[in-house]
Amino acid sequence: MLDIAPSQQAATWLGSFGRALEAGDIEAAANLFVEDCYWRDLLTFTWNIKTMEGQAAVREMLKATLPLAQPSHWRLSGEASVDDGIVEAWLSFETAVARGEGILRLKDGRCRTLFTAMSELKGFEERKGPGRPLGIRHKADPDRETWVEARARETRDLGVHEQPYCLVIGGGQGGIMLGARLRQFGVPTVIIEKNARAGDSWRNRYRSLVLHDPVWYDHLPYIPFPENWPVFTPKDKMGDWLEMYARVMELNYWVATKCISAAYDEAEKVWTVVVDRVGQRITLRPKHIVFATGAYGPPRQIALPGADAFKGELLHSSQYSTGERFRGKRVAVIGAASSGHDVSVDLWEAGAKVTMVQRSPTTVVKSDTLMEVGFEIFSEKALARGITTDKADMIVASTPFALVPKGQRALYDVIRERDADFYKRLSDSGFAIDFGEDETGLLMKAYRTGSGYYIDVGACELILNGEIAVKSGVGVKSLTANGILFEDGAELDVDAIVCCTGYQSMNETVAAIVSREVADEVGPCWGLGSGVKGDPGPWQGELRNMWKPTAQEALWFHGGNLALSRFYSKFVALQLKARMEGIATPVYGEPSNARR
């Protein structure tokens, strides 16, 4: 079979697979996979975001889901390719209620990985492209309601006279993108944001903040950044774009609104949510609530003995906005990941004397290097080859999380060789470097713990030149009246301390709004169960609780960076739309916290 053209190999496999499924022959379908296979499914069979690892897991999933899924019309999409003996093919298919797409990879004629993702619900397709709304009735009508009048009515009534089907708590990038998806699907939604304007979650950050990821990776759904947009977006420019986007996408977006409490009625299947909107208490009764408060939850405050004795200013990075008021002062920055570096640079630019306190090694990658070897499919060159952002999203999603470390380990072998002199100089300066417990680098740290890494956009040169001092490898024993006492007996006199110590899990936000019991039942968000520090097992195979059903009915989490929010917002919206329309959504697989 290896002598057969890639497309013919893929078509032969897909035909056999389709026939086995149509006949209900689960054993024949499972035998088309290699023993150590992976099938990652986004909703089409499982109504979940789940990866089946191994032939036995594929068999069990099909036994549970095949009768209702009723898959059919399996077809190749374009020509297959072959690389290092692996045949890769894009495909499309249908289920009883949806249309799907995916990517198939064959090894020696059998399936090594299969990726299936829902693209649309039958009968509830988005009104876009050829199906876009007309926007006007070509008829004289004394009772005509103009667009602006209809928007004013909707804005006035939703949440007051009419209840939203979904309430999105958090109006940053994640909440805005999910709101746009839900709007397109016709799901009545209110987004609440504590800040005064859409985009303030970016504007209120420290003045020098610029996105570390490139523009091709950061597009929002429906409205991509224009071709003259900078590769790296400044925070205030990002804030303005989000504000524009929320307005143009006609989102029902409540600013200056804080969620006070939420409780779920198991009998009525409805939430009672109390919000404070510009000083007025309002009670909402949505069917579903989505926490979109970022990838993480409340700020993580670390215990610093002697904090009460410290005479200077002690603040978390979430409270830091500018180094201007620290001009001429001595400032310690506790933390050496992204925020620690960015805040240190901002303080240095403002004229402060900065010491970075590094509590554990950091994975550092030069921005130029990562752009060239790490973002290859999100680039101008990729676009020239026909790899759009949507296609790149699918390529990334098609790789099971269990297989990502191998590729990342190989990538960082290349990066370390390429930038060997840079890493030697940085290490010689006293800065502690690592590439993760298993040498898999930045991306796996991002997935596992969301911490411990920095894309170098300028701070490292200041460290190498001695402009930013580093205290590494020694713990903080206590604070004193004038600064920090380290465990080696050294003292550092400072006027202020900025703790860049990260954030807690999003379920801690649930604890504050719903209850401690529900937060504990749902369990932590993010992480894969890899067993490394900060990401305890058991192995999950997917990010905990993100974008999928949780242990608490009708409670969802949505977040991540711009790329993850863009891609997975579609799947959260599809799940909510299906439930609103009464489509059966039997979820295969336990919630993330079930085996804790």
Q: What is the pLDDT of residues 401-439, one digit of tens each?
A: 999 999 999 999 999 999 999 999 999 999 999 999 999
Residue for token pair 């290896």: 2
Kindly state the percentage of the chain with pLDDT values over 70.
98
Q: Work out the pLDDT band at 503, boundaries 50, 70, 90.
A: confident
Cβ proximity of 86 and 15 under 8 Å:
no
Pairing of strands 98-107, 86-94: antiparallel
Residue for token pair 């947009």: 229
Instruction: Summarize pLDDT for 123-155 with one digit per residue, the tens.
Output: 999 989 888 988 877 788 888 888 899 899 999
Instruction: Summarize pLDDT for 32-45 with one digit per residue, the tens.
Output: 999 999 999 999 99
| pLDDT above 90 (res 68) | yes
pLDDT for position 295:
60
pLDDT for position 135:
82
The Cα–Cα gap between 551 and 510 comes to: 13
Q: Work out the pLDDT band at 2, boundaries 50, 70, 90.
A: low
Closest residue by Cα to residue 110 from 33, 36, 30, 12: 33
Beta-carbon-side half-sphere exposure of residue 357 (alpha carbons within 13 Å):
25
The Cβ of residue 381 has, within 10 Å, a number of other Cβ atoms equal to 12
pLDDT for position 318:
86
Angle, to 10 degrees, between the axis of helix 420-428 and the axis of helix 404-418? 80
The Cα–Cα gap between 311 and 280 comes to: 39
Where helices occur in 36-111 by DSSP H, the ranges are 55-69
Beta-carbon-side half-sphere exposure of residue 295 (alpha carbons within 13 Å):
17
Q: Based on the number of CB atoms within 10 Å of its own CB, is 3 exposed (0-12), middle (13-18) or buried (19 or more)?
A: exposed
Q: What's the chain's average pLDDT? A: 94
Instruction: Summarize pLDDT for 522-543 with one digit per residue, the tens.
Output: 999 999 999 999 999 999 999 9
Angle, to 10 degrees, between the axis of helix 389-397 and the axis of helix 562-580? 80
Beta bridge partners of 331: 354, 496
Q: Work out the pLDDT band at 276, boundaries 50, 70, 90.
A: very high
Q: What is the pTM of this model?
A: 0.94
Q: Rounded to an integer, what is the distance from CA 70 to the centroid of its chain?
A: 31
The Cα–Cα gap between 349 and 351 comes to: 5
* Longest pairwise C-alpha distance within the chain: 85
Instruction: Summarize pLDDT for 194-234 with one digit per residue, the tens.
Output: 999 999 999 988 888 889 899 999 999 999 999 999 999 99
Closest residue by Cα to residue 484 from 276, 380, 303, 332: 332
SS3 assignment, position 215? helix
Q: Mapped to the 3 state alphabet, what secondary structure does 510-571 carry?
A: HHHHCCHHHHHHHCCCCCCCCCCCCCCCCCCCCCCCCCCCCCCCCEEECCCCHHHHHHHHHH
Beta bridge partners of 88: 81, 105
Question: For 14, phi and psi rounded to 5 degrees?
Answer: -65, -35
Q: In the numeric block, which tokens belong to residue 40?
A: 């990652």
DSSP code for 319: G
